[in-house]
Structures are given as structure tokens and as C-alpha cells.
Structure 1
Amino acid sequence: MNTFLLFAACSSLCTLVGALPSLVVRNISHRGKDVLLAYTAGIMVAASTYGLLPSALKLSNLYVLTAGVLFGTLLLTAMELYIPHTDPSHTEGPEEGKQSLLLVAMLLHNLPEGLSTGISLASGAAETGKLVATAIGLQNIPEGFLVSLFLITRKAGAAKAFLYSLAIAAAEWAASCLGYYFGTELSVLVPYGLAFAGGAMLYVVYKELLPESHGDGNEIPATFAFILGTLTMIGLVDLLG
């Protein structure tokens, strides 16, 4: 439990850590944003393919892995289709009255990340849990920075941007607790949960992060950033393994 509390809290609070520089840095180029998003995508892909999915397969079989990945993908698809929200953009952002929709969008992105952390830490595979928590924490830093910067540049104010980041971090931590509960009290669901979390993370990468990072003509630096992000997580896997 102590390990869970430490890693889950640190992973969630990385959103706030990322938001802090945006209070000072008010101008970042499209290329810089694209590079951050692509680096984040590489981290998440490696965490899923080197941590979550192999662990799910080790604890179960290919059928369980397939069911979990498809369920995660279908659930996030349904959330995208039926829950009103707007995604952050590099161009003209939402009007002030639509800022709450941005918060909903980021919550949609962070809930599966919190579940991933909780389920992984409850899985009994300490290395996998720590790896996934570290990966999500690392990707929360640029995500928190970009969301906070997005809000500040849309005249939301530093205080409101910080409160939004705090709400996102709190929601992710709550999702981590839920994932940990399912992983400890309903251990039979752990491989399904790991596969679900892996599928959800891959969905977020392909549906949100990669298209966004390739939207301003910065495909080449974004591609290198994606590869570096992947290598960063592979390096962490090697260190933790």
C-alpha cells in the first residue's frame, strides 16, 4: 500500500509539476509543442508494449489480452463519441465559455492513465507497476505544461490554469485508487485490467497525441522525439529489470 500511495501520488502530481513552468513561459513554438507531444507518445507506447501488455500476457493468455485491449479501445471510443468535449488545439482555441469542455477532454485522457497506474501497482509485478507509474508521470509533465499554457494564452488566468491542472491530477489519483482496488480485491481481473490499460494508452497515442504532433508541418522533429521517448522508456525498463 505504501508503494502504491507513493508512486500513484507522484505520478499524478507530475501534472502540477509540468504546469508550473507555464506560469513563467508564456510563448512556445508549434514545433516545441509538437516535439513534447511526440515525446510523450513514445513514452506511452513503450510503457504499453514493454510493460502492460507483456505482463497481461504472462498472467493470462492471448484471448484475455485481446479482450482487454479491445475493451479499452472501445470504451475510449464511446467516451469520445458520446461525452461532449473539445480537444486542445495549436490554433485558435475554445472561447472562454468552453474552457470547461477542455477540462472534460483532459479528464477523459487521464482516467485510463490513472487506472493503468493503480492496476499495474496491484498486479504483483513490482517492476511493471513502478515502470508504468514512472512512464505516466513522465508524460504527465509535458501534458500538464501544454494544458496550462493553452489555458493561460486563452486568458484563463494563472490561478484558473493551476486549479484545472490540480483537478486533472486529483481525478487521475482517484482513478489510480479505483484501479488499485480492482487489482487487489478482484485479482482475477488484473490481466484484463492490464490489457485494458494498454489498449487505452495506445488509443490515446494514436487518436490524440500523434495526429496533434503532426498537425503543423513538424513531422520530422516530432518523429525523432517519438523515437527518443520510446528509447527513454526502454532505458527505464532495462534499469528496472
Structure 2
Amino acid sequence: MNEITKIILFSGLSGITVFLGGILAKIFLSKFENYSYKIEINHFITAFGGGIILSALALVLVPKGMEELSLFPMVILFLLGSSTFLFLDRYLSKKGGKVSQLLAMLMDFVPEAIALGAIFATDTQTGTLLAVFIGLQNLPESFNSYQDLIKSGFESKKSLIILLLLSFSGIVGALIGYYFLQDQPQVTSGLMLFASGGILYLIFEDIAPSAKLEHKWLPAFGANIGFLIGIVGEKLIGS
């Protein structure tokens, strides 16, 4: 199997979990409509996805972004990502939309997929482990993204089509990283810091508050489990 085929295969497998998460959310909403613990489980998964996104931010995106950039461009790119998503969130709020988890997933998934392609050029084993890590992240994130889309007024079929199309963005990102960015570490780092600013804003503006449930302690614990998965993934990648 040549290198390009491996990149397409592994980025495709890590991306298809975006669609699988949407399928699981559809089943959950239909089969457990009257289940007494439905709300608590839903909030747990929201916090779980937030924990995984936070781990990607803290363990992958920010550290890798800081490696190649000096202080001034690092600060500018992080603030640019933060302000971009602040204004985008305000715009969507005025339109009545609720797609914060979808935005966070894309801000996390796309730059990591680009990094995946760049890493595969020099380290196939690390690239493979990163693909597994990304795939695990995408499941709870897309689970919540599907519900965001439903709440925003999208029909179930259209929501699943959106997630299916987005699942292929990982392949595109990985190929871009492989062909154009393997010799451009500063560009890759800048992209990661821009994404980090947007993700951090979305976590504290939308995801963390929506995971809160009065007099219930299990949802918050989900964030710890999600972050732990990130720690395990980073340990495997770094080993």
C-alpha cells in the first residue's frame, strides 16, 4: 500500500465517524424518547465531547502551534481565531441558529486532518495513531452536532447528509497537508493556533454551559472522561 493510499484510507476512516456519530444521535433521539435518563445522558455526551475537544486544544493544537511561531504572530493568530468565531457566533445567534458543536468539531477536525497529512510524510506510525485519535474525537462531537442541526431547524435527512459530506473533509485536509504543508511548518502552526482560539471561545460560550444540568453531577464527569481519552491518545502518539 503506497503512502497516498494510506493517507486516504486512514483520514477517511477517521472522518467517517462524523457520519456515524450522527446516526447514533438519530437512533438515540428516536429510540429513547421517553427514557427517564435521556436528558442526563445527553448532557453527559455534550460534556464528554467538550472534554475531548479541550484535550485536542491543550495537548495537540496549542503545543504544536507554539513550536514554530514567535510570540507576536502566535498572539495575533490566536486572537484572530477567537474574534472570528465570536462574530460568527453572534451572527448565527441573530439568525436563530445553534451549531456551536458543529463549528467546534470542524475547527478541531480540519486542522488535525491537515496535520495528519503532513505527519504521514515523515512518520507513518504517528500518523496512524493520530488518525485513530481523531476518529474517537469525532464520534461524540458529531453526536452533539446532529442535535444542534435539528435544533436549528434542519430535517433529520438533511442533517445526516451534511455530516456525511463533512466526513470527507478529513481526506481533503489530509491531502492538502501532505502535498502543500509538509515543508511549511509555520503555516500549519498558524492554522492550529487560529483554530485553537475559535475552539476555546466556543467551549466556554456554548458547549460547557449547555452541558450543565442542575442537581446532576454525572454530566460534568463526562468532560473528565473525554479529556482522559485525549491524554491517552497523546501518550500513544508520543510513545
TM-score, scaled to structure 2 = 0.74
Q: Is the Cα–Cα contact under 8 Å of residues 105 and 142 in structure 2 kept in the other structure?
A: no
Q: Is the Cα–Cα contact under 8 Å of residues 182 and 189 in structure 1 kept in the other structure?
A: no
Q: Which moved more, 1:27-36 or 1:225-234?
A: 27-36
Q: Tell me, in whole angstroms, the C-alpha distance in 1 between the residues paired with 2:62 and 2:151.
A: 38
Distance 1:5 1:46, change over 3 A: same
In the alignment, residue 183 of structure 1 is paired with which amino acid? Answer: L
In the alignment, residue 181 of structure 2 is paired with which amino acid? Answer: G
Cα deviation digits, residues 199-219 of structure 1 (max 9, x gap)? 2222232222111111x3266
Q: How does 1:33-182 map to 2 (within 5 A)?
A: 33-82=42-91, 85-88=95-98, 108-124=103-119, 126=123, 133-148=131-146, 159-170=157-168, 174=172
- Which residue among 219, 227, 231 is the counterpart of 1:230? 227
Distance 1:183 1:120, change over 3 A: same
Q: What does residue 191 of structure 1 align with? A: 189
Mind listing any 5+ residue stretches in structure 1 that lack a counterpart? 89-101
In the alignment, residue 223 of structure 2 is paired with which amino acid? Answer: F
State the 1:154 CA deviation: 10
- Which residue among 8, 14, 17 is the counterpart of 1:14? 17
State the 1:177 CA deviation: 5.4
State the 1:155 CA deviation: 9.9
TM-score, scaled to structure 1 = 0.74
SS at match of 1:201: helix
In the alignment, residue 6 of structure 1 is paired with which amino acid? Answer: L
Q: Percent identity?
A: 23
Q: Tell me, in whole angstroms, the C-alpha distance in 1 between the residues paired with 2:195 and 2:149.
A: 28
Q: Tell me, in whole angstroms, the C-alpha distance in 2 between the residues paired with 1:52 and 1:153.
A: 29
Q: Tell me, in whole angstroms, the C-alpha distance in 2 between the residues paired with 1:170 and 1:198.
A: 22
Paired residue total: 225
Coordinate RMSD, CA, aligned? 3.4
Q: Tell me, in whole angstroms, the C-alpha distance in 1 between the residues paired with 2:227 and 2:12.
A: 24
SS at match of 1:60: coil
Q: Tell me, in whole angstroms, the C-alpha distance in 1 between the residues paired with 2:152 and 2:76.
A: 41
State the 1:128 CA deviation: 7.3
**Runs of 4+ residues over 6 Å off in structure 1:** 150-157
